[in-house]
Structure 1
Amino acid sequence: MDYVLNQHFENTTVDFDGKHYIGCSFLNCTIIISSLNFNYDRCTFTDSQFKISPKISWLQNVYSLLPSAKRGNTILHA
């Protein structure tokens, strides 16, 4: 995975796949996500939108954002 450090993105389209963004800022950007192979830490998003590929199931997106996913906890389904 490529690291992108302390970059400022403005009025552009950014492909998140295969990258780990650290300390970056995104102003009025379109963030493209077509896989779950990305990460970000300490980034800010202002007036930006996320476009997520329909290939990724909705449940995977939600689960990957939950704090329990990072601890390896199991989510029980009703």
Structure 2
Amino acid sequence: MEYITNKAYRNEDVYFDGSHYIGCSFTNCTIHIQSLRFNYDRCTFPGSSFKLSPNLSMLQNVYSLLPSALTSQTA
């Protein structure tokens, strides 16, 4: 798994799969999740949303744990 530390993303599409983000900021980004092969720690997500792959029905059960779960839509 690739470790990405202290990187600032702004207005980007970011694909989380295969990476571990530490101390990153995601401002007005769309976070795409297609598998459970990702992790994040001490990251911020102001104005960002998460898009989940429709093939991940099991991920729907943990969707409420994501920071923007109340305001975003599934893909």
- TM-score of Structure 1 vs Structure 2, range by shorter chain: 0.7 to 0.9
Output the CA distance in 2 between the equivalents of 1:39 and 1:61.
17
Q: CA deviation at 1:57?
A: 1.2
Q: For structure 2, which runs of at least 5 residues remain unmatched after alignment?
A: 66-75
Aligned residues: 64
Deviations 1:11-67 (A, max 9, x none): 01000000000000000000000000000000000000100001111456418x5xx
Q: Are residues 30 and 6 of structure 1, via their aligned partners in 2, closer, same or farther at CA, if it must alter by over 3 Å?
A: same
In percent, how many aligned pairs have the same letter? 66
TM-score (norm 2): 0.78
Q: For structure 1, which runs of at least 5 residues remain unmatched after alignment?
A: 66-78
Larger Rg: 1
TM-score (norm 1): 0.75
Moved over 3 A (4+): 58-61
Residue 27 of structure 1: aligned partner: 27
Output the CA distance in 1 between the equivalents of 2:57 and 2:15.
18
Q: Are residues 10 and 19 of structure 1, via their aligned partners in 2, closer, same or farther at CA, if it must alter by over 3 Å?
A: same
